Each structure stands twice: as structure tokens, then as C-alpha cells.
Amino acid sequence: MAIDFFRIANAGVQQLKPYQAGKPIEEVQREYGLKQVVKLASNENPLGTSPKALNALKNACTAENLARYPDSNGFRLKAQLAAKLKLSPQQITLGNGSNDVLELIARAFANEQHSTLFSQYAFAVYPIITQAIGARAIVVPAKDWGHDLSAMLAAIETDTQVIFIANPNNPTGTWLTQHALHNFLHQVPATILVVLDEAYVEYVSEPDYPNSLPWLADFPNLIITRTFSKAYGLAGLRVGYALSHPDIADLLNRVRQPFNVNSLALLAAENALDDGAHLQKAIELNQQGRAYLSQAIESMGFSVIPSVGNFICVDFQQDAQTLYQKLLQHGVIVRPVANYGLPQHLRISMGLPDENVFFINKLARCL
Ligand SMILES: *Cc1c(COP(=O)(O)O)cnc(C)c1O
């Protein structure tokens, strides 16, 4: 008799919908018989990996090196991050991407008896990890596409263990000010963890965007997560980290897999961190790309949610899935966000200047 594995799986997992990733370039080339395909779907760095990191990787790919387990504690990367951020290495938890760290937090602090809290339109990983551990998600309606902090405060319940806040938020690109977030932290009960997901922090230049690092000293329940996947151009290698109170880091360290960050990822992150010039180039390119794309799309009559990230979210006032499919046929991969409850929006990552122009030309033809 066939076994119904869905029935014996954990209740939360049965209900889970898999994360929808951006389509890989190769897949679109294959399916549509296209040579030139531009991917503006996953908020990656269009400049690619830092040449410094790439060079280190090439030298490290020896039979002898790759046969060894990585440094389980990521000593060198933690030391480097600690020096740069003026924190102690004991405050750092490394992850296989920051997604890994987000999951460690959920697994270490929440279970079936608990709730996690986050905003409508917030990053898709928060509901996924919440459901996977069998916790209940409290989803707070957004305000102007962004986080409504006072509504989030009011929505806290006695079983709430973790609050997730993406600043800026993906997929909307909205962001919270220093003042608003600091106020919020003051009002959240000290036993509830506040996870500030700063995956795009390097791109933000707004003067009232928070420097959250000093808050770690005042709010032991604050966890900041960051990543090498976006501005540092290492999405394929998977490295992210959390900054927290050392006791929280100690707990996260207990739940993680012993070798959750591989040796090439560690090495690449160390070198990428050292390549300030490459990072600066990526930031400038992003600013130009965002201005160009926003302006071009707005002049076609569509509204762009103001974004401080390396992507924009656009209301195309039509079924976005159809437009997405048309763009695929023309060799452009963007990201539908219907799974976020935004069926008329598409999220578009900044590409290289010629990729952005390519996209705008194809978009004009698809509309
Ligand atoms: C891309 C992204 C991440 C980072 O994911 P990684 O696992 O580090 O690649 C985290 N949070 C948000 C909001 C993101 O958009």
C-alpha cells in the first residue's frame, strides 16, 4: 500500500508552500531557445564577485584544501567582521546565507506553543521558517507598503517570541528610520527577540537610516542579520551572519550544523570584505540603475514603490504573471510577487547599465 507521507509529516510542513526562487538564466535559455537572457530577479550583484575574492578562490581550489573540513568556528571571518564592526567575535553567528541564521533563530527560540510576528509583504522566509517549526505567524497589515511599527507593537501577544523586521524590506524596498526603529525597540518587551534583517544595508545612503550596531549594547534582545549575498556578490556561495548578545550567539551556535559555512565561502567572504573598491562600485552602479529604471518606468505611467535596496517593486496595473511570462519570452527574468499578495506587481533587480536598457526596451514591447 502506498504510504501517505504528507499525512505523517509535521503539521506545519504539510501546509508549507516551497519558496519560489528566481528562474536561473540557463533554464530560460533552454525553455525559450534564447541566447541572450538578462536576469533581474534575485537581487544579486550585477558586477559579480569581487576580483580579489575570485582570485583567492582560484588559489584555494586544490585537492588538498577541498578534502578538508572547513573551520567550524569561522575564526578568521569572525575576527575580521568583529574588527570592522567594532564588536566581539562572540557576538557573531555565521550562517549558510543569512537565511540559515534566520532559521537558527526560529529553531532556537520558538516552537508549537509560540508565535512569531512580522509585517504583511515582509520577506518570504519569515513565514516559511515559522511554519516549518510549527509556530503561529502573526502578520500585521502593512502601511504604505512598509512596516507599521505601532500596529506591530499592538499585535504582540503573550506567546510571541520573535519579531522579524527587514530594513529595507524585500520585496517592497521600503525602509524604517533610526528614530522609528529606536522607539520601537524601547517599547518591545525585553524577552521578545527583535530580528533586524539588514540584507541590503550596504546600499542604503539615506541619512536617517539607522546605524543599528550601537543598539546591540542597549537592547540584548536585538539580533541584526546581514549577508554576503547582495552587495558583496557572493549569493552562490552562501554566507551570512547574525550580530547579537553573546548568549544568543552561544544558543544559535548549539543548533547550527557544525560545518554550516563551507571553506570556499569563508575564504571568499574574508576577501570580499577586504575589497572596498568593488563594494563601492556596486553601490554607485546600484544608485544609477535605480534612478534610471524608476524614471523610465514612471514615464511609462506606472508607480514604483520608493526603494533603498538594489531592486524596485512596480505596480503594472495588470496581471503581473502574464507580463512576467511575456518578458521571459523576450529574455528578461524578473520576479513575480503574487506569493506576497501583490499580483499586479513585479520586482526588478538592478542590472548593469546595458541590462537595464535591454529590460526597458523589452518592457515597452510587452506592454
Ligand atoms: C536576500 C535576502 C536575504 C539574504 O539571503 P541569504 O540567505 O543571505 O542569501 C535575507 N533577507 C532578505 C530580506 C533578503 O532579501
With a CB cutoff of 8 Å and minimum separation 6, the contacts of 136 are 114, 115, 116, 130, 159
Interacting residues of 354 by C-beta distance below 8 A, sequence separation 6+? none
**Cell triple for residue 90?**
562572540
pLDDT exceeds cutoff 90 at 34: yes
> Is the pLDDT assigned to residue 15 strictly greater than 90?
no
pLDDT tens-digit series, residues 304-328? 999 999 999 999 999 999 999 999 9
The response to whether residue 260 sits with its C-beta less than 6 Å from ligand 1 reads no
Q: List, in order of start, the domains of the chain with CATH numbers.
A: 21-49+277-366 (3.90.1150.10), 51-273 (3.40.640.10)
Q: Which atom of ligand 1 is nearest to the CA of 101?
A: 7
Mean pLDDT of the chain: 97
- pLDDT over 80 at 290, yes or no: yes
Q: Say if CB 179 and CB 149 are below 8 A apart.
A: no
Q: Please, are residues 146 and 175 in contact by the beta-carbon 8 Å criterion?
A: yes
Distance 301 CA to ligand 1 centre (A): 30
Pocket test for ligand 1, best of 98, 225, 307, 347 (most atoms within 8 A of CB): 98
Ligand 1: centre distance to CA 53 (Å): 20
CA 88, 94, 96: angle at the middle one, nearest 5?
170
| pLDDT of res. 353 | 98
Cα distance between residue 327 and residue 329, in whole Å = 5
Instruction: Compute, in angstroms, the gap from residue 171 CA to the centroid of ligand 1.
Output: 11
Beta strand 193-197 pairing with 222-227: parallel
Q: Is the pLDDT of residue 153 over 90?
A: yes
Ligand 1 center to 268 CA (angstroms): 18
Distance CA 127, CA 18 (A): 11
How far does residue 33's CA lie from ligand 1's centre (Å)? Answer: 31
Ligand 1 atom with least separation from CA of 239: 8
pTM of the model: 0.96
For residue 211, the one-letter residue type is N
Helix (H) or strand (E) holding 163: strand 160-166
Is residue 129 lining ligand 1, measured as CB closer than 6 Å? no
Q: Is the pLDDT of residue 1 over 80?
A: no
Q: Residue 233's closest CA among 32, 53, 14?
A: 53
Determine the 3-state secondary structure of 343 from DSSP: strand
Per-residue pLDDT tens over the stretch 88-147: 999 999 999 999 999 999 999 999 999 999 999 999 999 999 999 999 999 999 999 999
Which position has the grid cell 569581487?
Answer: 50
What is the reported pLDDT for 16?
87
pLDDT (tens digit per residue) in 251-263 = 999 999 999 999 9
Crossing angle of helices 263-274 and 75-85, in 10° steps, is 30
229 Cβ closer than 6 Å to some ligand 1 atom:
yes
Beta strands in 21-98 (DSSP E): 38-39, 92-95
278 pLDDT tier (thresholds 50, 70, 90): very high
Burial degree of 366 (CB within 10 A; 0-12, 13-18, 19+): middle
The predicted structure's pLDDT at residue 22: 81
Pairwise CA distance, residues 283 & 14, whole Å: 41
Pocket test of ligand 1: the residue of 170, 175, 204, 223 to mutate, having most ligand atoms within 8 Å of its CB, is 170
Q: Determine the residue of 45, 203, 229, 310 to mutate for testing ligand 1's pocket, defined as the one with the most ligand atoms within 8 A of the Cβ atom.
A: 229
**Ligand 1 atom at shortest distance from the alpha carbon of 98:** 8
* The three grid cell numbers given for residue 356, joined into one nine-digit string: 537595464
Cα-only R_g, the chain: 21
